[in-house]
Amino acid sequence: MRTGQIVGLAGVEGSGRESVCRMIYGAEQPSGGEILIESREVRFRSPADAVALGIGYVPAERRVEGIVSAMSVKENLTLAHLDVVRRGVALDRRRERELTGSWISRLRIKTPSLDALAGQLSGGNQQKVVLAKWLIAEQPRVLILDHPLRGLDVGAKAEIFRRILELAENGIAVLLIADTLEELIALSDTILVMRDGRITARFGEGDPPPEPGLILKHMI
């Protein structure tokens, strides 16, 4: 993967695409193989290790894995990178409010207040909180998006869709699993097709956009 590139993973349920994402993020342990960052091999024992190297993960199960529903919007936004709002041993609460406030307006997150519980927001706004959680630090290098548009209404889908393209334009490498092949084709620069844990086809940049039928053929 290169900076600014969106790589889409296609495959049926159980083809191993979710596992690949979770392994890169350190949430599952691989049985073999290696993960290279800037051609150096890395080994993540937990997501905390991956986060430290600038990798972010937007999980498919937004309400359980993406946000802590019973924490405030503000607390969710800074959870992944609390060091950004730390001064000495203590949290700098004023800076936390300023920083989260600015991201709320940048991503147009609709929330009654910074202290509203994240679980009370609409799905689209929750998803924006999860995205912003990774943007709040210095540039993340890699974002792994597992079904980022799942369960969103049409308007929210369009907005998150635009945000993902913007992220890539800003130089973030994006690894994507989408709900439909159409979404995947529309967003990705490169598409890797997986079947039974192996990559069976690759549609790269420069090629004409692949037909869904062609991708499907490699999936099953």
Q: Provide the binding-site residues for other proteins, judged by CB under 8 A.
A: 25, 27, 46-48, 50-52, 57, 59, 64-71, 75, 79-83, 86, 89-91, 93, 101, 104-105, 108-113, 115-117, 119, 133
Nearest-approach distance from CB 33 to other proteins, in angstroms: 22
Burial class of residue 163, CB neighbours in 10 A (0-12, 13-18, 19+): middle
| CB-CB contact of 172 with 135 (8 Å) | no
In the bound state with other proteins, the residue whose beta carbon lies nearer, of 65 and 189, is 65
Nearest-approach distance from CB 207 to other proteins, in angstroms: 34
| CB-CB contact of 8 with 176 (8 Å) | yes
The amino acid at 154: V
| CB-CB contact of 210 with 192 (8 Å) | no
In the bound state with other proteins, the residue whose beta carbon lies nearer, of 36 and 89, is 89
In the bound state with other proteins, the residue whose beta carbon lies nearer, of 90 and 220, is 90
In the bound state with other proteins, the residue whose beta carbon lies nearer, of 46 and 180, is 46
In the bound state with other proteins, the residue whose beta carbon lies nearer, of 39 and 105, is 105
CA angle 187, 192, 197 (to 5 degrees): 135
Nearest-approach distance from CB 122 to other proteins, in angstroms: 13
Nearest-approach distance from CB 216 to other proteins, in angstroms: 30
Nearest-approach distance from CB 199 to other proteins, in angstroms: 25
Could you give the CA distance from residue 73 to residue 207 in angstroms, rounded to a whole number? 42
In the bound state with other proteins, the residue whose beta carbon lies nearer, of 27 and 201, is 27
Nearest-approach distance from CB 194 to other proteins, in angstroms: 22
Residues 6+ apart with CB under 8 A from 77: 99, 100, 103, 104, 129, 132, 133, 136
| CB-CB contact of 10 with 148 (8 Å) | no
CA gyration radius, the chain = 18
Give me the phi and psi of 36, to 5 degrees please.
-110, 130
